[in-house]
Structure 1
Amino acid sequence: MPPDSSPSSAAGKRASPHSTVRRDLACVAAIGVIAAVLCATLDFGERFYRWTRGAERFQVDELPPTLFVLASGLAWFAWRRYREAQRELTRRRELEAEAERLLADNRRLASQGIDAQENERRHLARELHDELGQYLNAISLDAARIRDLAAPREPEIHRIALALMQSAHHVYREIGGMIRRLRPTGLDEFGLPGALEHCVDGWRERLPGVSFTLTVEGDFSTLGDARNITLYRLVQEGLTNISKFARNARVEIYLVRTAGEGGEIVVTMADDGPGVDLSIPRKGLGLIGMRERVEALGGEFHVASEPGSGFLFCARVPVPVPTQASPVAPNAAGEPAGAAANSEK
């Protein structure tokens, strides 16, 4: 269908203010011509003169010129108002376009800031694993060697060696926890569904009183790293909030990607816990960080909750259509992150 004959194009033409003005002027001109023809046919001027001859002292016969001047003034005033409305409408459109541009710039800057933050997290996690991890392992091995050599002769050295090994193991476990918080475990190796399964399994062990259900539908193998990290962080933040406010609830997590190229991804997490009153301002930054993550990718974030009725959040993240210039593939240098995973609601 040609562009000019499309329904949206036709609707736009019907809604055009210039076409409406031309149509109204044509109607006024047509009515004026019809009125002139009828007055000429019916001799309206002579009949009006005969009707008003008896009221000559009131100057009623001078009424038509007065009405003509009044109509001309009203037409001039209406034209001025129309021009002012057109200028105001043009200015409003310019302001709306500027607001859209500023909003797009703000989203772009927010996305770049999140990318930079997540890149720094990845670098820090790699440094912790490669540098400190190796040195701690070497310290543990040396302490074990000292323990084995000193066991039959020096009990005090043996005790110090054991304490040194325990300290090294403790620091190693702490570093492992930091690495997992900085960079999701298994996201690069097993993809988003596998990383989410691992994350939920970890929370199953920590919260035995909570029933978790994870449902993943669709293909997530072609997502960029930015969306993978955002979706993972959303679920991670939601599970952190569950541990704080709904430790005996039933939690359902849905992650769905619509079929076809592009489309969108919908993430929903619902629980039947105590719920919250959303009208009361909260001190934590968890929900704010989740919303910023989603909106930085051009998505929408909604929450719903009432006291005693559980809590639900839903995020809709669009997926751009891949092009030859910028194929959709995991990007090793760009993934968003927002507020810390352990922040509050």
Structure 2
Amino acid sequence: MASDFPTPSSSRANARAEPPHSTVWRDLAWVLAFAVLAAVLGSTFDFSERAYRWTRGLERFQVDELPGTLCVLSVGLAWFAWRRYREARRELCYRRALEEQAERLLADNRRLANQALQVQEHERRHLARELHDELGQYLNAISLDAARIRDLAETREPEIQRIAVALMQSASHVYRQIGGMIRRLRPIGLDEFGLPSALEHCVDGWRERLPQASFQLTIEGDFTGLSDALTITLYRLVQEGLTNVSKFAPAARVEVFMVRAPREVQEGQPPLAAQIDEIVVTLADDGPGVDLEKPRRGLGLIGMRERVEALGGEFHVASKPEGGFLICARVPSQAGLAEPVN
């Protein structure tokens, strides 16, 4: 499904396949060829002599002066075209400079967004670890002490037993809430078991929450050695896509596909590009779909696009009313390895 989308790199490569200066020399060659052809035809058929004989009878109208006038007009038009050409060149250079500046600013903004996301995920992981290590053990100790109080007061003080049971229930409730916070801050098993296991756990959770929906997860390839930024981006991409399914298509059939495969090398790219593989993620459902031409209030798709493009990837969306929804992302597997977060 991912191959059906046009890639910006391929369109840019086709646009730059032919340098501008080659078209200039080609057009100049055509002009010179027509000039030589006109000279050959003029010398063969004596156009000047024939024109003189034809216009000799119109001397009172000064028609014989027309070639000189046309020559001056052609020189003036050439000068006019040259002036317009210079202005167009200046305008083109100015626009190119603005485009380069806009591209640099966009690249800086994406690097900044990528750094902010990495810092955010780093803080989330740290906070989840602190919640689990610090609060978790104390809540467990409270629960054990309350169970001990309950056992000791079982035959002596019913009121103490009731308070102990309530204390155990409160500790269990807080522990479950902290567990939910930890799962939202940092996916379960992502650091210990890897991305495929974390995605399977995520999909299993949505199977329990959306029993009317059908989920199919397919993962192909080796996903070890990825950067933390890329791993969490792929996970958040699938997580946000499933969240959108729960909002707009809770009874749909959902297919999640993720593969790590060699990158398709475009014509004109260096051979080194073939040594870098990429990860393709697609998430499709047969829900009601949306009209992408209409503005949307949600920021989920925008956030997903920014995450993917901040790592140098491509993000595409396809949908239509009553036609389902498709999300496709392509990210280089080496993304994020050069900029670790401390």
Smaller-chain TM-score bracket: 0.7 to 0.9
Q: How many angstroms apart in 1 are the aligned matches of 2:143 and 2:249?
A: 40
Structure 2 counterpart of 1:175, one-letter code: I
**Alpha-carbon displacement from aligned partner over 1:149-189 (angstroms, at most 9, x marks no partner):** 33332222221111111101110111011111111111111
Counterpart amino acid of 1:16?
Answer: S
Aligned pair 1:56/2:98, yes or no? no
Equivalence for 1:293? 307
Secondary structure, in 3 states, of the residue corresponding to 1:12? coil
Q: Distance in 2 between matches of 1:250 and 1:53?
A: 88
- Three-state SS of the structure 1 residue aligned to 2:125 is helix
Distance 1:99 1:28, change over 3 A: farther
What TM-score comes out, normalization by structure 2 length? Answer: 0.81
Alignment counterpart, residue 44 of structure 1, candidates 34, 41, 48: 48
In the aligned structure 2, how far is the partner of 1:279 from the partner of 1:85? 34
The answer to whether structure 1 residue 137 and structure 2 residue 140 are counterparts is yes
Once the two structures are TM-superposed, the CA of residue 193 in structure 1 deviates from its matched residue by 0.9
Pick one of 198, 201, 204 that aligns with 1:198. Answer: 201
Shift in alpha-carbon separation, 1:279–1:327, aligned structure 2, 3 A? closer
Q: Secondary structure at the match of 1:98?
A: helix
Query: Which amino acid in the other structure matches residue 55 of structure 1?
Result: L
CA contact (8 A) 1:122 1:182 kept: yes
* Structure 2 residue corresponding to 1:208, chosen from 201, 207, 211: 211
Structure 1's 57 and 238: CA in aligned 2 closer, same or farther, altered over 3 A? closer
RMSD of Structure 2 on Structure 1 (CA):
3.1
Aligned residue in 2 for 1:340: none
User: Given the alignment of the two structures, is residue 73 of structure 1 paired with residue 87 of structure 2, yes or no?
Assistant: no
- Structure 1 unmatched ranges of 5 or more: 1-7, 335-345
Gap change, CA 1:38 and 1:196, over 3 Å in 2: same
For residues 33 and 300 of structure 1, the distance between their equivalents in structure 2, rounded to whole angstroms, comes to: 56
* TM alignment of 1:223-302, pairs within 5 A: 223-259=226-262, 261-302=275-316
Q: Distance in 2 between matches of 1:173 and 1:13?
A: 64
Confirm whether residue 112 of structure 1 aligns to residue 103 of structure 2. Answer: no
CA distance in 2, matches of 1:150, 1:156: 8
Listed one character per residue, the Cα deviations across residues 47-101 of structure 1 (whole Å, up to 9, x for unaligned) are 6555444332222232232222222211211221222222222222222222222
| Structure 2: distance between partners of 1:17 and 1:90 | 18
Choose from 126, 129, 132 the match for 2:129.
126
Distance 1:75 1:274 in 2: 60
Aligned residues: 318
Q: Secondary structure at the match of 1:274?
A: coil
Whether contact under 8 Å (2:226, 2:334) holds in the other structure is no
TM-score normalised by L of structure 1: 0.80
Task: Indicate the residue corresponding to 1:317 in structure 2.
Answer: 331
Q: Deviations over 1:23-45 (max 9, x none)?
A: 3664476467657x829x94936
SS at match of 1:241: helix
Identity %: 69
The alpha carbon displacement at 1:120 in A equals: 1.3
Is the contact made by 1:13 and 1:19 (CA closer than 8 Å) also made in structure 2?
Answer: no
CA distance in 1: counterparts of 2:164 and 2:38, whole angstroms: 109
1:250: how far off?
2.1
- 8 Å CA contact 1:107–1:298 kept in 2: the answer is no
Distance in 2, Cα, partners of 1:60 & 1:104: 64
Contact 1:14 1:20 in 2 (8 A): no
Instruction: Give the AA of the match of 2:73.
Output: L
Residues in 2 aligned to 1:81 and 1:97: alpha-carbon distance in whole angstroms: 24
Q: Is the 8 A contact 1:215 1:254 kept in 2?
A: yes
Task: Provide the rounded CA distance (Å) in 1 between the counterparts of 2:71 and 2:320.
Answer: 66
